[in-house]
Structure 1
């Protein structure tokens, strides 16, 4: 049983070891890409389930936020990383013992692992003792570690280890090789002729020369000759090797469970800081959000899609931050605007923001206040599949119905272009019904749509529009602003859907006229102007 956890205030919390599947909304929000980047090189820790499960109250979130604030101090983070690197190396050495067939060699590696463990523990205790810690978690660990480092069990382990290391270091032996016979005996102060030989031949040295010494590749094991030599040495010094054998048996499980757990759990913070570090250095802002459990007044300033930012961080592409706010009785954001204007990116970032905040991590933005949800329900377009034996519209209705059945007033809905597979009239009717149901629940929601009517159907809805360059409407700014829907995106959408844009009409008439240049089709100018107006 561990005494301190870095993930939960109660170290016996069953969620530490519980298995959690990836939430349904992870792929829709590109959180799976973020998690893959965070845990890329740390799969051995098995921390994925911690990133899957959101916390249940603000106190739990604040517990992790306080630890993260301590970890964000550069000097402290560097020292914890150094400890983790040594500890991980020690753990891997222990895992390799099974590959060593020689008993004495295996016991020697075990002793080296104990030495590394003792050094790591004392180093960590010193780091925590000298640091100004603001978090309950790390202060609790400091108290535990200082007591452990001065405990009889640890001091005995360290003393016995140091005694054996000294005894083994004082062993000297000679190897006599004659023909195919190798003999091992105690060192009896025989003369070492190496220096005399070097001195004799040094007079013949003329500058740098090519070395013909054979490079023997290093490995963790011993060959059969080396193993037999080691066995002979053990017979020459039976008392020392007997003490080594007793030490290994007595301290077979020498790693303290709390310290071992700390090194694993602290990766939750280290891996995320490593992930967002390059983005921070590039000038993007992250903050610790304020978490509310009952008050649904929420806002975010300067937030962005973390997965997208990570992708473009190595390019010259600029990340465009956005803002949102829900105050008073406002519960839903409806976003309209032109295609490829950043609407889907906005709602993905909205979802990422809530999930990352709910697991206690810093979020993209300069200032953020969020409501702590109990569930996130997403609805993004799915390709039709023959396995379901249902049409696209039928499948959409069933998926949304199931989400509404499971939702509570504390849930969050993220809807991206729902009911696009049916007529505008039917889509408007069905979308109204869904949004009315969500509003009746008093749940928070964000919805991307081309139906401007939805943005003004209720005073609890905030209308936001993805913007274009005022000088050139074909250029997207990727800013999403709070203002009334303008209807322009709707007209363009209809024109594109029915191939009535100016470009489409020109191409259609050109084909009808046998490939003639559209400029020659003077009789069709009126139809071209009609298409241009729709554009």
Structure 2
């Protein structure tokens, strides 16, 4: 391996003394964050408050199953704050969707996983010489994986700014004298160690180790001469070697004696391993290995849904045009659950354009209203992650935060009644929300009278409209749908032939004021007539 094989990275600064590319001078920061956006520290990003109400906690938990070693949740907990930063991720996600790009990245990740496995094994071993051998293997795997990734990315020519910048930096890194020397020395030491041959002489409890002197192996000749006298299958006296890596004290002593017979080689091994220890892994390579899993895990999660024909798209984001639109969108958590049960989620359209700011969703119970509200909130949040969202033709205003108010059980510790608790929570939301926020309200003020609930709801609606924030409001108060020309009425529908059957389609239409409670009562035999019949029996 030499520089002429690897070439010089585009944009790399070449040292005037050595003529080699300086990997550190190539502009690359992160595969997840552009220079304008913030980066969460490992383990320090807390789950946003809206996650539980929107089932985003379930989504992230499902996405990160099998990726625990990478600690990906902080990345999902930290939505982006800049449109260009979102596009930066969308470009990378599109590249990673390519099967060839994904394959080479997964191969690299497997190599890095092996390196970490070696580190863990070193921590469990007791003998220094064995630790050095395992460390040498780790260095060799690390160097080989890095070079293979660099060459593959160069051949595949990814289109995204992030992968192009990383590829250029990596090409300069693996072509640097430091890296080339590291890889070459590891290879040389492995080859020399593999060439060491020695003899072990065992005489009772005495074990002697000496250099190999060309002794021949006469096993084949002996078997040829005496094989003809064999009358039955011979007993197998071969010793089966263990398949675990730990050495016992006898093996360790033999290895010490082998080292004493080859002092120059083993002294060099000690010097090399002491100098490198675990410092040979470049922080940016390690960061790439972790950060790229964000894309792989998300895309792997949605792949089964895409195979079923559910649409996903990269939303067009804007910090200036206030609109929220997506066709055939759906609740990602519900879709995954129904997929596991062999069923398919129902899709719906959402749209707030022009001066429209609030979707007021009404209709029968168990008709999909809450799911629709969750879908809207999920879209607003997932769009800021830079990954494809559930739906097609999505265009979203860049929200700064997503606030939710879903019904909760009374908490005896705060000594507040349910209505007061609702009011306190809504007050806090309105105090923190901005014109760039998204608010999702689900069946609030259910603990008071219809008259009071209507009055309070109108007051809150007015505050949201004055704030100019986006909102989805699920309510049993149908009059709210016509509160303003900036509110849009959405209604969950039923089967025209059987009002007890929910279609889970939520469409734009004027609120009907019907809850279809009678059809449910008829379905379960709870009408007045049926109850009287039972009593009379």
1:93–1:205 CA distance, 2 compared to 1 (3 A): farther
Per the TM alignment, residue 181 of structure 1 is displaced from its structure 2 partner at its CA by: 2.2
Is it true that 1:407 corresponds to 2:427 in the alignment?
no
Is it true that 1:364 corresponds to 2:384 in the alignment?
no
1:216-295 maps to which residues of 2 (within 5 A)?
Answer: 216-252=241-277, 253-295=279-321
Superposed CA deviations along residues 135-180 of structure 1, whole A, max 9, x for unmatched, are: 1111111111111111110111112112211211110011112222
Per the TM alignment, residue 220 of structure 1 is displaced from its structure 2 partner at its CA by: 2.6
Per the TM alignment, residue 312 of structure 1 is displaced from its structure 2 partner at its CA by: 1.4
Of stretches 453-462 and 203-212 in structure 1, the one that deviates more from structure 2 is 203-212
Aligned partners of 1:206 and 1:37: how far apart in 2?
A: 63
Per the TM alignment, residue 360 of structure 1 is displaced from its structure 2 partner at its CA by: 0.8
1:7-26 maps to which residues of 2 (within 5 A)?
Answer: 7-10=32-35, 13-15=38-40, 19-26=44-51
Superposed CA deviations along residues 377-405 of structure 1, whole A, max 9, x for unmatched, are: 10111011211211111111111111111
- Of 159, 176, 179 in structure 2, the residue corresponding to residue 154 of structure 1 is 179
Match of 2:420 in 1: 394
Match of 2:30 in 1: 5
Superposed CA deviations along residues 308-332 of structure 1, whole A, max 9, x for unmatched, are: 1111113331211110111110001
Match of 1:169 in 2: 194
Q: Secondary structure at the match of 2:322?
A: coil
Aligned partners of 2:232 and 2:356: how far apart in 1?
A: 84
Q: Secondary structure at the match of 2:340?
A: coil
1:47-196 maps to which residues of 2 (within 5 A)?
Answer: 47-196=72-221
Match of 2:327 in 1: 301
Aligned partners of 2:231 and 2:501: how far apart in 1?
A: 72
Per the TM alignment, residue 250 of structure 1 is displaced from its structure 2 partner at its CA by: 2.1
1:294–1:173 CA distance, 2 compared to 1 (3 A): same
- Of 429, 433, 447 in structure 2, the residue corresponding to residue 421 of structure 1 is 447
Kept after mapping to 2: 8 A contact 1:305/1:345? yes
Per the TM alignment, residue 134 of structure 1 is displaced from its structure 2 partner at its CA by: 1.4
Superposed CA deviations along residues 55-86 of structure 1, whole A, max 9, x for unmatched, are: 11101101111111110101110111111111
Per the TM alignment, residue 339 of structure 1 is displaced from its structure 2 partner at its CA by: 1.1
- Of 475, 493, 510 in structure 2, the residue corresponding to residue 484 of structure 1 is 510
Match of 1:330 in 2: 356
- CA RMSD across the alignment: 2.5
Per the TM alignment, residue 33 of structure 1 is displaced from its structure 2 partner at its CA by: 0.6
Match of 2:407 in 1: 381
Q: Secondary structure at the match of 1:395?
A: helix
Aligned partners of 2:331 and 2:101: how far apart in 1?
A: 29
Aligned partners of 1:142 and 1:122: how far apart in 2?
A: 11
Consecutive unaligned residues in structure 1, runs of 5 or more: 518-535
Aligned partners of 2:224 and 2:471: how far apart in 1?
A: 84
Task: Report how many residues are paired.
Answer: 511
Q: Secondary structure at the match of 2:217?
A: coil
Match of 1:527 in 2: none
Aligned partners of 2:341 and 2:235: how far apart in 1?
A: 46
Aligned partners of 1:212 and 1:187: how far apart in 2?
A: 24
Per the TM alignment, residue 245 of structure 1 is displaced from its structure 2 partner at its CA by: 0.5
1:477–1:13 CA distance, 2 compared to 1 (3 A): closer
Of stretches 195-204 and 227-236 in structure 1, the one that deviates more from structure 2 is 195-204
- Of 314, 321, 325 in structure 1, the residue corresponding to residue 340 of structure 2 is 314
Per the TM alignment, residue 494 of structure 1 is displaced from its structure 2 partner at its CA by: 13
1:204–1:510 CA distance, 2 compared to 1 (3 A): farther
Superposed CA deviations along residues 324-350 of structure 1, whole A, max 9, x for unmatched, are: 111110001011111111111111111
Aligned partners of 1:44 and 1:198: how far apart in 2?
A: 52
Match of 2:372 in 1: 346
Aligned partners of 1:313 and 1:209: how far apart in 2?
A: 58
Per the TM alignment, residue 212 of structure 1 is displaced from its structure 2 partner at its CA by: 7.7
Per the TM alignment, residue 12 of structure 1 is displaced from its structure 2 partner at its CA by: 9.4
Q: TM-score, normalised by structure 2?
A: 0.90
Q: Secondary structure at the match of 2:440?
A: strand
Per the TM alignment, residue 95 of structure 1 is displaced from its structure 2 partner at its CA by: 2.9
Aligned partners of 2:56 and 2:47: how far apart in 1?
A: 10
1:88–1:244 CA distance, 2 compared to 1 (3 A): same
Kept after mapping to 2: 8 A contact 1:7/1:16? no
Consecutive unaligned residues in structure 2, runs of 5 or more: 1-23
Per the TM alignment, residue 202 of structure 1 is displaced from its structure 2 partner at its CA by: 5.1
Kept after mapping to 1: 8 A contact 2:500/2:520? no
Kept after mapping to 2: 8 A contact 1:3/1:11? no
Kept after mapping to 2: 8 A contact 1:5/1:11? no
Kept after mapping to 1: 8 A contact 2:437/2:469? yes
Q: Secondary structure at the match of 1:266?
A: helix
Is it true that 1:509 corresponds to 2:532 in the alignment?
yes
Per the TM alignment, residue 207 of structure 1 is displaced from its structure 2 partner at its CA by: 11
Q: Secondary structure at the match of 1:390?
A: coil
